[in-house]
Protein backbone atom coordinates (compact mmCIF):
# COMPACT_ATOMS: atom_id res chain seq x y z
CA UNK A 1 0.00 0.00 0.00
CA UNK A 2 1.25 3.50 -0.83
CA UNK A 3 1.39 5.71 2.27
CA UNK A 4 -1.52 8.15 2.50
CA UNK A 5 0.71 10.43 4.57
CA UNK A 6 4.37 11.37 4.26
CA UNK A 7 4.73 11.94 8.00
CA UNK A 8 2.73 10.97 11.07
CA UNK A 9 3.42 13.12 14.12
CA UNK A 10 2.63 11.58 17.50
CA UNK A 11 1.40 14.44 19.68
CA UNK A 12 0.77 18.04 18.74
CA UNK A 13 2.12 21.43 19.72
CA UNK A 14 1.10 24.32 17.44
CA UNK A 15 4.50 26.03 17.54
CA UNK A 16 6.57 22.86 17.20
CA UNK A 17 4.43 21.66 14.29
CA UNK A 18 5.68 23.97 11.47
CA UNK A 19 9.31 23.62 12.59
CA UNK A 20 9.08 19.85 12.45
CA UNK A 21 7.34 19.91 9.07
CA UNK A 22 10.08 22.14 7.63
CA UNK A 23 12.75 19.87 9.06
CA UNK A 24 11.10 16.77 7.59
CA UNK A 25 10.81 18.51 4.21
CA UNK A 26 14.50 19.48 4.27
CA UNK A 27 15.46 15.94 5.30
CA UNK A 28 13.65 14.56 2.26
CA UNK A 29 14.52 17.44 -0.12
CA UNK A 30 10.78 18.17 -0.55
CA UNK A 31 8.63 21.29 -0.22
CA UNK A 32 7.11 21.80 3.23
CA UNK A 33 3.78 23.21 1.92
CA UNK A 34 3.04 20.00 0.03
CA UNK A 35 3.83 17.39 2.66
CA UNK A 36 0.89 15.23 3.69
CA UNK A 37 0.89 15.13 7.46
CA UNK A 38 -1.18 13.19 9.96
CA UNK A 39 -1.26 14.21 13.62
CA UNK A 40 -2.15 11.66 16.30
CA UNK A 41 -3.44 13.42 19.39
CA UNK A 42 -4.55 12.32 22.84
CA UNK A 43 -5.64 15.85 23.83
CA UNK A 44 -8.06 18.04 21.83
CA UNK A 45 -6.30 19.42 18.73
CA UNK A 46 -7.45 21.10 15.51
CA UNK A 47 -6.37 23.19 12.54
CA UNK A 48 -7.63 26.35 14.31
CA UNK A 49 -4.59 26.13 16.59
CA UNK A 50 -2.29 26.45 13.56
CA UNK A 51 -3.74 29.77 12.42
CA UNK A 52 -1.01 32.40 12.49
CA UNK A 53 1.75 29.95 13.41
CA UNK A 54 1.83 28.13 10.04
CA UNK A 55 1.66 29.68 6.55
CA UNK A 56 -1.94 29.54 5.31
CA UNK A 57 -0.75 28.03 1.98
CA UNK A 58 0.52 24.81 3.60
CA UNK A 59 -1.46 21.58 3.48
CA UNK A 60 -3.54 21.21 6.62
CA UNK A 61 -2.75 18.13 8.67
CA UNK A 62 -5.24 15.33 9.20
CA UNK A 63 -5.99 15.00 12.93
CA UNK A 64 -6.63 11.47 14.19
CA UNK A 65 -7.47 10.80 17.85
CA UNK A 66 -5.16 8.25 19.45
CA UNK A 67 -8.05 5.95 20.39
CA UNK A 68 -9.06 5.69 16.69
CA UNK A 69 -5.54 5.17 15.29
CA UNK A 70 -4.19 1.84 14.13
CA UNK A 71 -0.59 2.12 12.91
CA UNK A 72 -0.20 0.98 9.30
CA UNK A 73 1.92 1.56 6.21
CA UNK A 74 -0.45 4.42 5.33
CA UNK A 75 1.21 6.50 8.08
CA UNK A 76 4.50 7.08 6.25
CA UNK A 77 7.30 7.97 8.68
CA UNK A 78 6.29 8.19 12.37
CA UNK A 79 7.97 10.74 14.66
CA UNK A 80 7.15 12.35 18.00
CA UNK A 81 5.43 15.71 17.46
CA UNK A 82 6.10 17.10 20.95
CA UNK A 83 9.65 17.43 22.17
CA UNK A 84 9.53 19.12 25.56
CA UNK A 85 9.55 17.18 28.75
CA UNK A 86 7.49 15.93 30.48
CA UNK A 87 5.10 15.93 27.48
CA UNK A 88 7.34 14.00 25.05
CA UNK A 89 7.85 10.88 27.15
CA UNK A 90 4.18 10.99 28.28
CA UNK A 91 2.94 11.07 24.67
CA UNK A 92 5.18 8.17 23.74
CA UNK A 93 3.99 6.15 26.77
CA UNK A 94 0.34 6.79 25.79
CA UNK A 95 0.95 5.82 22.14
CA UNK A 96 2.87 2.70 23.11
CA UNK A 97 0.20 1.64 25.62
CA UNK A 98 -2.68 2.23 23.16
CA UNK A 99 -1.14 0.69 20.04
CA UNK A 100 1.89 -1.39 21.03
CA UNK A 101 3.95 0.64 18.53
CA UNK A 102 7.64 -0.16 19.00
CA UNK A 103 10.34 2.51 19.10
CA UNK A 104 12.00 0.84 16.10
CA UNK A 105 9.00 1.98 14.01
CA UNK A 106 10.10 5.61 14.43
CA UNK A 107 12.17 7.39 11.78
CA UNK A 108 15.18 9.73 12.16
CA UNK A 109 15.10 13.28 10.72
CA UNK A 110 18.34 15.18 10.13
CA UNK A 111 18.62 18.56 8.41
CA UNK A 112 21.08 18.41 5.48
CA UNK A 113 23.21 21.18 7.03
CA UNK A 114 23.79 19.17 10.23
CA UNK A 115 27.15 17.46 10.67
CA UNK A 116 26.72 13.92 11.97
CA UNK A 117 29.93 11.89 12.40
CA UNK A 118 29.78 8.58 10.54
CA UNK A 119 30.46 6.72 13.81
CA UNK A 120 27.69 8.52 15.72
CA UNK A 121 24.42 6.68 16.41
CA UNK A 122 21.08 8.50 16.52
CA UNK A 123 18.30 6.69 18.34
CA UNK A 124 14.92 6.12 16.66
CA UNK A 125 12.70 9.20 16.69
CA UNK A 126 15.65 11.64 16.84
CA UNK A 127 15.30 15.10 15.25
CA UNK A 128 18.44 17.11 14.33
CA UNK A 129 17.89 20.76 13.38
CA UNK A 130 19.99 22.92 10.97
CA UNK A 131 23.70 23.49 11.67
CA UNK A 132 23.81 21.09 14.60
CA UNK A 133 26.73 18.72 15.16
CA UNK A 134 26.96 15.25 16.65
CA UNK A 135 30.61 14.20 16.98
CA UNK A 136 32.49 10.93 16.74
CA UNK A 137 31.21 7.84 18.58
CA UNK A 138 28.36 9.63 20.31
CA UNK A 139 25.26 7.57 20.94
CA UNK A 140 21.90 9.32 21.39
CA UNK A 141 18.89 7.47 22.81
CA UNK A 142 15.38 7.30 21.37
CA UNK A 143 13.53 10.56 20.65
CA UNK A 144 16.55 12.81 21.20
CA UNK A 145 16.33 16.40 19.98
CA UNK A 146 19.40 18.39 18.83
CA UNK A 147 18.38 21.97 18.17
CA UNK A 148 19.85 24.63 15.87
CA UNK A 149 23.59 25.33 16.16
CA UNK A 150 23.88 22.98 19.14
CA UNK A 151 26.77 20.53 19.28
CA UNK A 152 27.13 17.17 20.95
CA UNK A 153 30.79 16.36 21.59
CA UNK A 154 32.54 13.05 20.95
CA UNK A 155 31.74 9.90 22.98
CA UNK A 156 28.57 11.32 24.54
CA UNK A 157 26.02 8.79 25.73
CA UNK A 158 22.42 9.97 26.01
CA UNK A 159 19.34 8.24 27.37
CA UNK A 160 15.85 8.65 25.90
CA UNK A 161 13.89 11.92 25.37
CA UNK A 162 16.85 14.20 26.10
CA UNK A 163 17.32 17.49 24.27
CA UNK A 164 19.88 20.21 23.73
CA UNK A 165 18.50 23.66 22.92
CA UNK A 166 19.85 26.16 20.36
CA UNK A 167 23.55 27.05 20.58
CA UNK A 168 24.34 24.82 23.57
CA UNK A 169 27.37 22.52 23.56
CA UNK A 170 28.42 19.36 25.35
CA UNK A 171 32.15 18.54 25.45
CA UNK A 172 33.50 15.00 25.04
CA UNK A 173 32.33 12.00 27.09
CA UNK A 174 29.31 13.74 28.60
CA UNK A 175 26.65 11.29 29.86
CA UNK A 176 22.97 12.23 29.91
CA UNK A 177 20.23 10.16 31.52
CA UNK A 178 16.65 10.10 30.24
CA UNK A 179 14.54 13.28 29.88
CA UNK A 180 17.43 15.74 30.33
CA UNK A 181 17.03 19.31 29.00
CA UNK A 182 20.07 21.48 28.26
CA UNK A 183 19.02 25.15 27.95
CA UNK A 184 20.03 27.34 25.02
CA UNK A 185 23.65 28.47 24.96
CA UNK A 186 24.72 26.27 27.89
CA UNK A 187 28.16 24.64 28.02
CA UNK A 188 28.74 21.24 29.61
CA UNK A 189 32.31 20.33 30.57
CA UNK A 190 33.88 17.06 29.39
CA UNK A 191 33.07 13.94 31.37
CA UNK A 192 30.10 15.49 33.21
CA UNK A 193 27.07 13.33 34.03
CA UNK A 194 23.51 14.66 34.08
CA UNK A 195 20.98 12.40 35.80
CA UNK A 196 17.47 11.50 34.61
CA UNK A 197 15.21 14.55 34.39
CA UNK A 198 18.02 17.07 34.98
CA UNK A 199 17.55 20.62 33.62
CA UNK A 200 20.36 23.05 32.76
CA UNK A 201 19.40 26.73 32.58
CA UNK A 202 20.07 28.81 29.48
CA UNK A 203 23.60 30.22 29.31
CA UNK A 204 24.93 28.05 32.14
CA UNK A 205 28.41 26.57 32.49
CA UNK A 206 28.16 23.09 33.99
CA UNK A 207 31.38 21.92 35.65
CA UNK A 208 30.07 19.27 38.07
CA UNK A 209 27.77 16.27 37.83
CA UNK A 210 24.05 17.06 38.07
CA UNK A 211 21.79 14.72 40.05
CA UNK A 212 18.45 13.22 39.06
CA UNK A 213 15.65 15.80 38.58
CA UNK A 214 17.95 18.65 39.65
CA UNK A 215 17.87 22.05 37.93
CA UNK A 216 21.17 23.91 37.75
CA UNK A 217 21.87 27.37 36.34
CA UNK A 218 24.42 30.15 36.21
CA UNK A 219 28.17 30.45 35.60
CA UNK A 220 29.40 28.24 37.11
CA UNK A 221 26.11 26.36 37.38
CA UNK A 222 24.64 25.97 40.85
CA UNK A 223 21.64 24.02 42.10
CA UNK A 224 18.34 25.89 41.83
CA UNK A 225 16.81 25.82 45.29
CA UNK A 226 13.04 26.34 45.00
CA UNK A 227 11.70 29.16 47.18
CA UNK A 228 9.57 27.98 50.10
CA UNK A 229 5.92 29.09 49.74
CA UNK A 230 6.34 31.33 52.82
CA UNK A 231 9.29 33.35 51.43
Q: Which is nearer to ligand COA, 40 or 168 (CB)?
A: 168
Q: Which is nearer to ligand COA, 74 or 223 (CB)?
A: 223
Would you tell me how many other CB atoms lie within 10 Å of the CB of residue 201? Answer: 20
Considering just the CA atoms, what is the radius of gyration of the chain in Å? 18
CB of 215 to ligand COA, least distance (A): 6
CB of 217 to ligand COA, least distance (A): 4
SS3 for the chain is CCCCCCEEEECCCCCHHHHHHHHHHHHHCCCHHHCCEEEEECCCCCHHHHECCECCCCCCCEEEEHHHCCCCHHHCEEEECCCCCCHHHHHHHHHHHHHCCCHHHECCEECCCCEECCCCEECCCCEECCCCEECCCCEECCCCEECCCCEECCCCEECCCCEECCCCEECCCCEECCCCEECCCCEECCCCEECCCCEECCCCEECCCECCCCEEECCCCEECCCCCCCC
CB of 202 to ligand COA, least distance (A): 4
Q: Which is nearer to ligand COA, 76 or 177 (CB)?
A: 177
Q: Which is nearer to ligand COA, 137 or 202 (CB)?
A: 202
CB of 20 to ligand COA, least distance (A): 13
CB of 165 to ligand COA, least distance (A): 4
Q: Which is nearer to ligand COA, 140 or 199 (CB)?
A: 199
> φ, ψ for residue 13 (rounded to 5)?
-135, 125
CB of 216 to ligand COA, least distance (A): 8
Closest residue to ligand COA in the complex (CB): 201
Q: Which is nearer to ligand COA, 95 or 168 (CB)?
A: 168
Interface residue list for ligand COA (CB under 6 A): 147, 165-166, 183-184, 199, 201-204, 215, 217-218
Amino acid sequence: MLPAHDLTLLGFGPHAYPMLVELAAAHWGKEAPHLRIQVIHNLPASNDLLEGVMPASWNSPVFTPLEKWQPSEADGTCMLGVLREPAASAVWAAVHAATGLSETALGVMVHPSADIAPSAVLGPGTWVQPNATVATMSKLGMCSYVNRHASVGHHNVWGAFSRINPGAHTAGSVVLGDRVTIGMGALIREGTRLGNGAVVGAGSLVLKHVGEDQTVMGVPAKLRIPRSPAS
